[in-house]
Amino acid sequence: MEKSSMQQRDVNSLNDAVCVFHQLVCKEPVPSVVEFAKLLRVMINMKEYSVVVSFFGEMRKLGIPFDDYILTIVINSFCLLGCAENRFSVLGVSLKSGVQFNVVTFSTLMRGLFEQNKIQDAMWLFRKLVKEKICKMDEVMFGTVMNGLCKQGHTQTALSLLRIMEQGDAKPNTVVYSIVVDAFCKKRMVEDAVDVLKIMVPKGEHPDVVTFNAIMEGYCLRGEIDVARRVLDSMIDIGVKPDIFSYNILVNGYCKQKKLDEAMHLYCEISQKGLKPDIVTYSTILQGLFEVGRVECSENFFTEMQNAGHSPDIYTCGIMLHGNDGFFKIQKLDKACSIFDKLYSVGLHPDVIRYNVTVNGLCIEGLVDEAKELLRKMEDNGCLPDNTTSNLIVNGLLKSNKTNEAMTLLKEIIQRGFAANKVTMSLLIELLLLIGEDASLIKHNSIPRYDHSESPSKGSHTIIAKAETPFPILIAIQRFSAWVPDIVTSVIKALKKWEKENEEKEEFEIDVLKELNDLSAEVISRTAFGSSFEEGKRIFVLQEQHISLTLQAMRSVYLPGFRYLPTKNNMTRWRLEKETRESVRKLIESSKGRENSKSLLSLLISASEEEHGFGMEEVINECKTFYFAGKETTSVLLTWTLLLLALHQEWQDKAREEVFRVCKGNNLPSAENLNDFKIVTMILNETLRLYPTIVALTRGTSKDIKLGDLEIPANTQFYVSVAAVHHDTEIWGKDALEFNPQRFAESRKHLASFFPFALGPRVCVGQNLAMVEAKIILAMIVKNFSLALSPSYVHAPTTRLTLQPQYGAPILFRKI
Positions in the binding site for ligand HEM (CB under 6 A): 461-462, 464-465, 468-469, 524, 528, 625-626, 629-630, 633-634, 637, 693-694, 697, 756-758, 762, 764-766, 769-770
- Confirm or deny that 135 is annotated as ligand binding: no
Handedness of CA 255, 261, 264, 265 (dihedral sign): negative
Q: How far is the CB of 588 from ligand HEM (least distance, A)?
A: 17
Closest to ligand HEM by CB, 422 vs 581, is 422
In the complex with ligand HEM, the residue whose CB is nearer, 77 or 520, is 520
CA dist 803 and 695 (Å) reads 7
How far CA 261 is from CA of 229, 278, 441, 478, in Å, comes to: 14, 19, 58, 56
DSSP secondary structure letter of residue 5: G
639: helix, coil or strand? helix
Q: Largest Cα–Cα distance of the chain, in whole Å?
A: 117
367 vs 477, which CB is nearer to ligand HEM?
Answer: 477
Helices (H), 556-677: 568-591, 600-610, 616-647, 649-662
Which CB sits closer to ligand HEM, 663 or 765? 765
CA distance 661 to 666: 10
Of 480, 569, 546, the residue nearest 801 (C-alpha) = 546
CB of 776 to ligand HEM, least distance (A): 13
Residue 717 C-beta: closest distance to ligand HEM, Å: 12
Q: Among residues 31 and 760, whose Cβ is nearest to ligand HEM?
A: 760
C-alpha–C-alpha distance, residues 65 and 58, integer Å: 11
**Residues in the chain, total:** 816
Minimum CB distance to ligand HEM smaller for 262 or for 632: 632
Least separation in angstroms between residue 429's CB and ligand HEM is 12
Q: Which is nearer to ligand HEM, 49 or 754 (CB)?
A: 754
Q: How far is the CB of 759 from ligand HEM (least distance, A)?
A: 9
The least CB distance from residue 395 to ligand HEM, in Å, is: 16
Return the H-helix or E-strand segment holding 814: strand 810-815
Residue with smaller CB distance to ligand HEM, 375 or 623: 623
Least distance from C-beta 749 to ligand HEM, angstroms? 21
Rg of the chain over Cα atoms, rounded to whole angstroms, equals 37
For every residue of 657-687, DSSP letters joined together read HHHHHHTTTTPPP-TTTGGG-HHHHHHHHHH
What's the closest the beta carbon of residue 410 comes to ligand HEM, in angstroms? Answer: 20
What 3-state class would DSSP assign to 531? coil
Q: Are 712 and 706 in contact (CB under 8 A)?
A: yes
d(CA 72, CA 679): 83
Q: State how far the Cα of 508 lies from the Cα of 90, in Å rounded to an integer.
A: 90
| Beta carbons of 90 and 81 less than 8 angstroms apart | no
Residue 392 vs 694, nearer CB to ligand HEM: 694
Write down the least CB distance from residue 769 to ligand HEM, Å: 5
Using CB atoms, what's the residue nearest to ligand HEM? 766
Using alpha carbons, list the distances in angstroms from residue 223 to 231, 499, 687.
Answer: 14, 75, 62
Sequence ranges of the binding site: 764
Sequence ranges of the binding site for heme: 764
